[in-house]
Structures are given as structure tokens and as C-alpha cells.
Amino acid sequence: MDGVPTSESNKALVRRHFEETFNQRHLASCDVLFARDFIEHAVAPFGAAAPGLVDGPAHMRQTVEWLIAQYPDLHLRIEQVVAEGDLVVARVRSTGTNLGPLNGVIPATGRRFDSYACHWFRVVDGLLAEHWAVRDDLTSMVQIGVVTAPRPPDGETSGSTGAGAPVARRAWRPQAPPTPLA
């Protein structure tokens, strides 16, 4: 079946996207990797809604430029790729240093982040046509210092009763399933 995309060719397309557009900053590749009619389901950090139907190549160039302005040393490493039919999922480890204003508003902190995301793509006619993402933005924001991790009140330790004494912890043991009522 020559010319018919396979799971392997779809996975190669997603790998090429991350390597060329993000890691090599070769934004011209967006024109050959993305469909013009691209559906973006992922909401940007601090965003209110997903963009929906966009010009794929232009949208991806803007996304890369926006991220690079905040994290000039941004690097995305694919840790795993799975494909079935026209869907491809990539588990991606992202690292970078916040050297530019976050979202163009919050001053740069100069701190690094290291977090994971899962990116889902639908491939149509050999092009990336649709995208969903599940990102760990909270970890990234804590690591770069724009969000403070919650801490117990002064004098308390994690898991305390409120009087300063730690709560006794029990080891987890499997429980028998409940018996049905007659």
C-alpha cells in the first residue's frame, strides 16, 4: 500500500515536528508538516480557551516564537511515541530557562524547569491536522518561581495533626471487595 500513511510514518512525522520546529528552530518546516486547516485543542498556559480552527503553519510558528521568547534554551525530548490509525501520542520532556517575560507580562526569573507533557496529534494526508495536550504547567511554574508551592503553617510538618505532632501512617494493604447486600 504505497502512499498510504502508516503508524510508523505518522510517528516519524511527529518526531520530525518536535526536532525541527522546536529543537532546531527551523520554522520553515511548519509549512510542510502542518495542515492549513489545523484544529488546536490545547489551551496555552494562562489562556482562557483553545484557539480552535487556525492556519496550522502560522499557528505553530507563533507558538514556537512565543515559547522561545520566554525560554531561549527550550529543548523538547520525545521519551515515547505511540500510534494507532491516524492518532499519534508523544510523551515529551521539556526543559528550559526562563530568560524572557512569561506570557510577555511576568518578569523573567532566570530559573530552569523540567517537566513532562503528552501531545496527541491527528494526521490527515501526511500532515499534522489536529492537536491536544496534557501538560504539567504547575510543576513548571513552581520550578521557575512564579507560583509558590503550598506549605504547612509555621510549626507544622506535613501530615501533622495541627498540634505539631505527626500523624501516624499505616502501610497500605489490599482490602477485600465489599460483599453485596442481600
**What is the Cα–Cα distance from 154 to 39, expressed in whole angstroms?**
48
**What is the Cα–Cα distance from 18 to 25, expressed in whole angstroms?**
10
Helix or strand run (H / E) with residue 114: strand 112-124
pLDDT the model gives residue 32: 98
Helix or strand run (H / E) with residue 79: strand 75-84
User: Pairing between strand 34-40 and 127-135?
Assistant: parallel
Could you tell me the pTM of the whole model?
0.80
Listed as ranges, residues in the chain with pLDDT below 50 are: 1, 160
**What pLDDT, in 10s, does the model give residues 93-146?**
999 999 999 988 999 999 999 999 999 999 999 999 999 999 999 999 999 999
Residue 96 CB burial class (10 angstroms; 0-12, 13-18, ≥19): buried
